[in-house]
């Protein structure tokens, strides 16, 4: 039986990550959102810039995907519409988490400890360094990046990450999720640039959507950018 279930976490996991919840960070809903996203798209190479509450949700999703993959490959009848090509290579996901631990409210060290306690650290590599220049440290097996989660920064960080990490994102559907973009001037400025570029010279380079938590004044949104510059047309189910 697959590990997929209507409830995405069990009581032990929920209890373990509770100490990582910090209202100032505003990721109480982003953690479960990342979990569900990863469960759906099954990325192999994930990068997180800024560790904390979301780290363990990412790792739990990677672990659950491995369990499902192994069960499905043994018996494809577990799925209603299995795609055989998905199972030709082993599913060995990993999370590279980049954090310089300089934020005064950083929960990075606690996130590492909780991940270890939950036996999820097998999927985790921690880089204690600044995000700027860290892209040069990626080995060939770390690329391309399937999912990049940015939980740090202001306008200058957004643009720096776009310049340094966007070229490393998988061209056939790689995802970049950015936190806190909709209701502050710097996030809005960056989004306007993305939209202007998409409307003029990069229409076939990416898709984007932003989600707002309307009940919050700050730390209340995410933007998801999907890279499509190298995506091939996929028609799996032609109309009858």
Domain definitions of the chain by residue range? 11-171
Q: Looking up tokens 């030709």, which residue turns up? A: 88
- Digit-coded pLDDT (tens) for 177-203: 999 999 999 999 999 999 999 999 999
- Digit-coded pLDDT (tens) for 37-96: 999 999 999 999 999 999 999 999 999 999 999 999 999 998 888 999 999 999 999 999
11-171: what fold? Answer: Rossmann fold (3.40.50)
Residue 2 has pLDDT above 70, yes or no: no
Band (pLDDT 50/70/90 cuts) for residue 1 is: very low
Token representation of residue 2: 């697959």
82, 112 Cβ separation under 8 angstroms: no
Residue 4 has pLDDT above 70, yes or no: no
Burial code (b: 16+ CB inside 10 Å, e: under 16) for 98-127 equals bbbeeeeebbbebbbebbeebebbebbebb
Q: Which residues contact 34 (CB under 8 A, 6 or more apart)?
A: 54, 57, 58, 61, 149, 177
- Averaged over 217-224, what is the pLDDT? 95
Determine the pLDDT at residue 224: 98
Determine the pLDDT at residue 7: 52
169, 144 Cβ separation under 8 angstroms: yes
Determine the pLDDT at residue 237: 82
CB atoms inside a 10 Å sphere around CB 8? 17
């Amino acid at each position: 039986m697959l590990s997929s279930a209507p409830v995405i976490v069990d009581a032990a996991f929920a209890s373990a990550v509770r100490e990582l919840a910090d209202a100032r960070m505003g990721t109480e809903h982003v953690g479960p959102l990342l979990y569900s996203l990863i469960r759906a798209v099954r990325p192999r190479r994930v990068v997180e810039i800024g560790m904390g509450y979301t780290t363990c949700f990412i790792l739990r999703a990677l672990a659950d995907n491995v369990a499902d993959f192994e069960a499905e490959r043994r018996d494809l009848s577990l799925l209603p519409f299995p795609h055989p090509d998905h199972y030709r290579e082993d599913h060995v996901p990993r999370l590279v988490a980049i954090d310089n631990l300089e934020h005064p409210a950083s929960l990075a060290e606690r996130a590492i400890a909780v991940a270890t306690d939950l036996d999820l650290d097998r999927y985790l590599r921690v880089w204690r360094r600044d995000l700027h220049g860290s892209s040069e440290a990626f080995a060939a097996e770390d690329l391309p990046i399937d999912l990049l989660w940015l939980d740090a920064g202001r306008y200058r960080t957004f643009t720096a990450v776009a310049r340094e990490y966007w070229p490393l994102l998988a061209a056939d559907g790689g995802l970049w999720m950015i936190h806190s973009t909709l209701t502050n001037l710097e996030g809005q400025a960056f989004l306007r640039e993305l939209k202007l570029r998409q409307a003029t010279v990069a229409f076939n380079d990416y898709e984007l959507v932003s989600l707002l938590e309307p009940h919050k004044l700050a730390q209340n949104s995410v933007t998801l950018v999907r890279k499509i510059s190298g995506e091939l047309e996929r028609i799996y189910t032609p109309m009858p």
